């Protein structure tokens, strides 16, 4: 797959993802702030929310890095195959 054929994220999809993330985070933070519990419980839930968000970003980065490294290996393998095919002469007779 060449670089020009790689799927790209549209602007609308990107905006939707950002707004969805912001809205869900804000709604959960508001829910935690409005809970009728003592401050320690509220703080525990807020730290839990922060941990989930940072873990999600870390996981997304790891998945992206693994996918990018697999693409590099595939491109190297494809280049080797193309070189072998270009150098191969089916009409060449060995020993002559």
Give a yes or no: residue 37 inside a domain.
yes
| pLDDT in the model for residue 1 | 46
How far is Cα 6 from Cα 29, in angstroms, rounded to an integer?
Answer: 37
Give a yes or no: residue 72 inside a domain.
yes
Range of the domain at 17: 10-87
How far is Cα 69 from Cα 53, in angstroms, rounded to an integer?
Answer: 25
How far is Cα 22 from Cα 36, in angstroms, rounded to an integer?
Answer: 24
**How sure is the predictor about 80, in pLDDT bands with cuts at 50, 70 and 90?**
confident
| pLDDT in the model for residue 20 | 94
Give a yes or no: residue 96 inside a domain.
no
Percent of the chain's residues with pLDDT above 70:
91
Give a yes or no: residue 2 inside a domain.
no
Give a yes or no: residue 94 inside a domain.
no
Give a yes or no: residue 69 inside a domain.
yes
How far is Cα 5 from Cα 88, in angstroms, rounded to an integer?
Answer: 28
């Amino acid at each position: 797959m060449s670089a020009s054929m790689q799927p790209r994220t549209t602007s609308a999809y990107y905006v939707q993802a950002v707004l969805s993330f912001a809205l869900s985070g804000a709604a959960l933070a508001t829910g935690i702030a409005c809970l009728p519990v003592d401050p320690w419980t509220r703080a525990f839930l807020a730290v839990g929310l922060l941990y989930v968000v940072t873990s999600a970003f870390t996981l997304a980065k790891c998945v992206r890095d693994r996918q990018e490294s697999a693409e590099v290996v595939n491109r190297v393998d494809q280049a080797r195959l193309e070189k072998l095919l270009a150098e191969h002469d089916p009409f060449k007779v060995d020993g002559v």
